[in-house]
Amino acid sequence: MKGNMKLILTMLIFGSIGIFVKKIDLSSSEIAFLRGVIGSLFLLIASFLVKHKPSYQALKENALLLLLSGAAIGLNWIFLFESYHYTTISNATISYYFAPIFVMILAPWILKEKLTSVKVICIATAMIGLFLIVNPGAGGNSGSQNHTLGIAYGLIAAAFYASVVLINKFIKNLSGFEITLVQLMAAALVLLPYILWQGNLHFAGINSTSIIYILILGIVHTGFAYFLYFTSIQELKGQTIAVLSYIDPISAVIIAAIFLSEGMTLIQMIGGVLVLGSTFFSEKLELKVAKKGQTPTTSP
């Protein structure tokens, strides 16, 4: 399979995460923990099959950063899954795609990068788009849904993902596959004491349907998807990766509309276009920075 087809398939898999999470009768922390365990086991087996040998010295040197980023990934999953529970997949996905904007805001302080006028415009555009999504709210609260709270959880998830992106800038001498494998293992390790403290490890209410969906989430949406992603990006240019990565949020909205009959108002759609458009242009800026020999602040 060609690299672009593998990446398109990966983005379509990522775009369908929401409908599977919504059908799992477990808490968000339990789902995140099981996703980390199953996904890391899959990637661990894959690394043995392809005879990939990581640098143990590099792992040791980056141990603290990998642990911190793994913890951030676990918390990122928890808040994203909470977002799915409280609002529509469309709202959750678009608010989650605010992560590159958070990276852009924090980069001048953490990475000592210049905040240009174009970046300020991207940030302001994304803020306006987010306001348009939250303000009409699809009627505020409906049934068990609280859209404002759900979008807030999506933004918190985005903030944790942004922290992962920033932490990864300081990790050296490890491939993306190695970093992801260790981060997934670290996420499960960090989440274990958390769910024990919350008293959720008994997995109350789990049934055969939830078991099937959690296995799909861990194997297909995590292990297999990440494996496809890292094998595809080795064959593609950065601009192609950036463009194709937007299949994820677009497919998420379409899949939610088809399978869950979720919709967005016209104003919310405009807001979504503004958010995704601003993140797209911000990533194009980072690609130009990367071509000049500097480290980009975002990753697909």
Share of the chain above pLDDT 70, in %: 89
What CA–CA distances, in Å, run from 23 to 31, 88, 185, 235? 11, 13, 24, 35
Tell me what pLDDT residue 290 has.
Answer: 57
Total structural domains within the chain: 1
Is 300 among the domain residues?
no
Kindly report, residue by residue over 163-172, the tens digit of the pLDDT: 999 999 899 9
Residue 100, domain extent = 3-291
Kindly report, residue by residue over 7-46, the tens digit of the pLDDT: 999 999 999 999 999 999 888 999 999 999 999 999 999 8
DSSP state of 142: E
Is 158 among the domain residues?
yes
* Residue 159 in this model has a pLDDT that exceeds 90: yes
Q: What is the DSSP string of 113-125?
A: ----HHHHHHHHH
Which residue(s) pair with 141 in the sheet? 146
Cα distance between residue 101 and residue 111, in whole Å: 14
Q: Which residues contact 179 (CB under 8 A, 6 or more apart)?
A: 66, 69, 168, 171
Tell me what pLDDT residue 231 has.
Answer: 85
**Helix, strand, or coil (residue 263):** coil
H/E element holding 274? helix 266-291
Is 105 among the domain residues?
yes
Cα distance between residue 125 and residue 85, in whole Å: 27
Tell me what pLDDT residue 299 has.
Answer: 36
